[in-house]
């Protein structure tokens, strides 16, 4: 497994960006520019099975697991020799961020997670119904992944001792109660619900998330 993608070389502290299901690092084109202009060094790999990242083997992939993806990012950070970088994950990327710091406490210095859920039940019912029907016609292992995982115990979030920014749109495909549950379970969190926004509209081709992220990093990353 080789994670590839876009790396912006800067002179400042490192931040890793992890995209969501069915996307690639270009999801963050606006945020990459904002962060680089602010002096950060930005690393934005494509996740396992996405974009330019290599497959585990030449055989067709029949299943994916968030724990494996979290381990991929952990090994990516280790291979680059990054010391307590910031990590921002959107959607599945947020799940990966939480699992990484639960499994390897102290790896990160600060975290942000947007549109993130602890279990499939944290998704709005209409989304589950729609994608369940799509998957019945032709099963896609990435769709199966988000319909069957993750299974993160809120109690396990207490292991995450770093500052975490938790965001969602006010019309997100993540239930508001799920976002609130995550923020409440984390020992040191800030929650922002973005008005007039869905799951990704304040992230893709928008400067809203970048501004939130920069403000959080400047305030809380000691």
pLDDT value at position 132?
97
pLDDT for 191 beyond 50: yes
Q: Quick count: other Cβ atoms within 10 Å of Cβ 59?
A: 7
59: pLDDT confidence band, cut at 50, 70 and 90? Answer: low
Contacts made by residues 180-183, CB under 8 angstroms, sequence distance 24+: 181/118, 181/122, 181/154, 182/98, 182/113, 182/116, 182/118, 182/154, 182/157
As a whole number, the mean pLDDT across the chain is: 92
Domain 5-220, CATH: 3.40.50.1820
What would the two tokens of residue 108 be?
């990160």
Per-residue pLDDT at 151 exceeds 90: yes
Report whether pLDDT(9) > 70: no
Tokens 């379970």 sit on residue: 185
Checking if the pLDDT of 44 tops 90, the result is: yes
Taking residues 111-130, what's their average pLDDT?
Answer: 98
> Between 58 and 85, where is the model more confident?
85
Tell me what pLDDT residue 24 has: 82
Note the pLDDT of residue 25: 87
Q: What's the Cα-to-Cα distance from 174 to each of 16, 31, 54, 182, rounded to whole Å?
A: 23, 22, 29, 11
- Taking only the tens place, the pLDDT of each residue in 175-188 is 999 999 999 999 99
pLDDT for res 158: 97
CA distance 80 to 124: 37
Q: In the predicted model, what is the mean pLDDT of residues 43-64?
A: 70
Per-residue confidence (pLDDT) for residue 62, from 0 to 100: 80
Smallest CA-to-CA distance from 168 within 206, 197, 125 is with 197
Q: Report the pLDDT value the prediction gives residue 52, as an integer from 0 to 100.
A: 56
- Specify whether the CB–CB gap between 192 and 169 falls below 8 A: no
The share of the chain scoring above pLDDT 90, in percent, equals 82
In this prediction, residue 1 carries a pLDDT of 43
- Place 222 in a pLDDT band, splitting at 50, 70 and 90: confident
Of the candidates 84, 81, 83, 108, the one whose C-alpha atom is nearest the C-alpha of residue 94 is 108
Beta-bridge partners for 7: 43
So where are the chain's domains?
A: 5-220
Give the pLDDT mean for 93-98: 99
- Burial of 199 from C-beta contacts in 10 A (0-12 / 13-18 / 19+): buried
Whether pLDDT at 205 is above 90: yes
């Amino acid at each position: 497994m080789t994670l590839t993608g876009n790396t912006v070389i800067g002179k400042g502290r490192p931040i890793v960006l992890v995209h969501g299901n069915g996307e690639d690092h270009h999801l963050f084109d606006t945020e990459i520019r904002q962060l680089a202009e602010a002096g950060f060094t930005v690393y934005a790999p494509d996740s396992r099975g996405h974009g330019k990242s290599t497959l585990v083997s030449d055989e067709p992939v029949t299943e994916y697991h968030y724990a494996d993806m979290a381990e991929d990012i952990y090994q990516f950070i280790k291979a680059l020799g990054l010391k307590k970088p910031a990590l921002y994950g959107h959607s599945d990327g947020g799940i990966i961020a939480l699992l990484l710091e639960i499994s390897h406490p102290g790896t990160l210095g600060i975290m942000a997670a947007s549109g993130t859920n602890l279990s499939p039940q944290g998704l709005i019912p209409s989304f589950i119904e729609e994608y369940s029907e799509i998957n019945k016609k032709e099963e896609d292992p990435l769709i199966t992944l988000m319909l069957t995982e993750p299974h993160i115990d809120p109690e396990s979030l207490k292991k995450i001792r770093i500052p975490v920014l938790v965001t969602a749109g006010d019309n997100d495909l993540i239930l508001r109660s799920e976002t609130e549950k995550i923020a409440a379970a984390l020992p040191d969190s800030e929650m922002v619900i973005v008005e007039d926004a869905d799951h990704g509209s304040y992230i893709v081709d928008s400067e809203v998330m970048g501004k939130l992220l920069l403000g959080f990093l400047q305030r809380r990353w000691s």
